[in-house]
């Protein structure tokens, strides 16, 4: 009984974390340090996985992301095994 309760609490906490990550969005304006309405890779490099997605996101190929292109960014899921099993 105790193990089932602990498992339920852990699973509930993990689903809350996953939901929070899915809804956490860094606003375009917060990243656009020079306020030129475009993100350079340097401005966006704090985002996890952005460099791996950059060429797919940069639809017009100008080396920067506009607001619409940035809307296509998806934060990577947490790494498998990030939570240690007992």
- 7: enclosing H helix or E strand: helix 2-23
Could you tell me what percent of the chain has a pLDDT over 70?
63
The CATH code belonging to domain 2-70 is 1.10.238
Q: Give per-residue pLDDT as tens, 13-38.
A: 454 444 444 445 799 999 999 999 99
**49-85 burial string, b = 16+ CB within 10 Å, else e?**
ebeebbeebbeeeeebbbeebbeebeeeeeeeeeeee
Q: Enumerate the H helices of the chain as residue ranges.
A: 2-23, 28-31, 41-44, 50-57, 67-70
pLDDT attached to residue 75: 86
Of residues 86 and 26, more confidently modeled: 26
DSSP state of 62: S
pLDDT attached to residue 29: 96
């Amino acid at each position: 009984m105790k193990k089932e309760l602990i498992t339920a609490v852990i699973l509930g906490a993990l689903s809350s974390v996953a939901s929070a990550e899915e809804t956490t969005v860094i606003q375009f304006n917060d990243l656009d340090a020079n306020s030129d309405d475009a993100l350079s890779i340097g401005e966006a490099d704090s985002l996890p996985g952005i460099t791996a997605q950059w060429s797919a996101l940069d639809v017009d190929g100008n080396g920067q992301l506009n607001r619409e292109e940035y809307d296509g960014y998806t934060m990577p899921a947490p790494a498998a095994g990030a939570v240690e099993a007992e």
